[in-house]
Amino acid sequence: MISNRDRTAIHEISQIENQSQIRYGIRFLKNWILERIAASFPIPSVRVKLHRMRGINIGKEVYIGYDVIFDRIHPEYITIEDYAEIGDRCIISAHQRGTKTLMDKYPRTVKPVRIGRGAWMAPGCIVIQGVDIGENSVIGTGSVVLWDIPAGTVVMGNPARPMKKLGAGK
């Protein structure tokens, strides 16, 4: 029923997390169910609560759009600060791992992701592990964020590049 690849991944993650494979499997299933419910729930504040239940660190008055995918294995490595907004269909990942044949060159790594206070991610953005998005930054639609974004910066593109600096103000 479970493939060799799945067995290897479960074993690898349970070792990193220092927990039994059964405990990891139950946690993963719980988080997957909560994510699926949150993805299409019509009330934004309930979507936020469901993602908090998964372990994502979410501040106050945060908006999370429809079909947002947060790291399914390590949601606790993601922090979204107060007043941030995450547009529909964004992807935020706190880990990466190469294929079985590339694991020696690209081993599983886990790094925190932080989305700063008042940051706005337009729909369809992708943020990879280890990225820090500064306070009041704007990530343009469909951008792929590979590096830290300074506070008050508008970025766009793949990879996301600075377009302008926002002035002081609220």
Question: The whole model's pTM is what?
Answer: 0.89
- Condensed to tens digits (0 to 9), the pLDDT of residues 30-50 reads 999 999 999 999 999 999 999
pLDDT at 167: 74
Tokens linked to 64:
């999370």
pLDDT at 75: 95
The proportion of the chain whose per-residue pLDDT surpasses 70, expressed as a percent, equals: 98
> Could you tell me if 73 and 53 are in contact, meaning their C-beta atoms sit under 8 angstroms apart?
no
Closest of 11, 31, 23 to residue 73, by C-alpha: 31
Report residue 59's pLDDT band, with 50, 70 and 90 as the boundaries: very high
* Phi, psi angle pair for 117, to nearest 5°: -55, 130
Specify the higher pLDDT residue, 52 or 17. 52
**Is 156 a residue whose pLDDT tops 70?**
yes
The bridge status of strand 69-70 relative to strand 109-110 is unpaired
* 81: number of Cβ within 10 Å: 18
**Is 90 a residue whose pLDDT tops 80?**
yes
- Distance (Å, whole) CA 58 – CA 3: 35
Tokens linked to 85:
């907004």
Domains of the chain, CATH where assigned: 4-165 (2.160.10.10)
Specify the higher pLDDT residue, 15 or 88. 88
pLDDT at 103: 80
Longest dimension (CA), the chain: 57
pLDDT at 168: 59
- Condensed to tens digits (0 to 9), the pLDDT of residues 128-155 reads 999 999 999 999 999 999 999 999 999 9
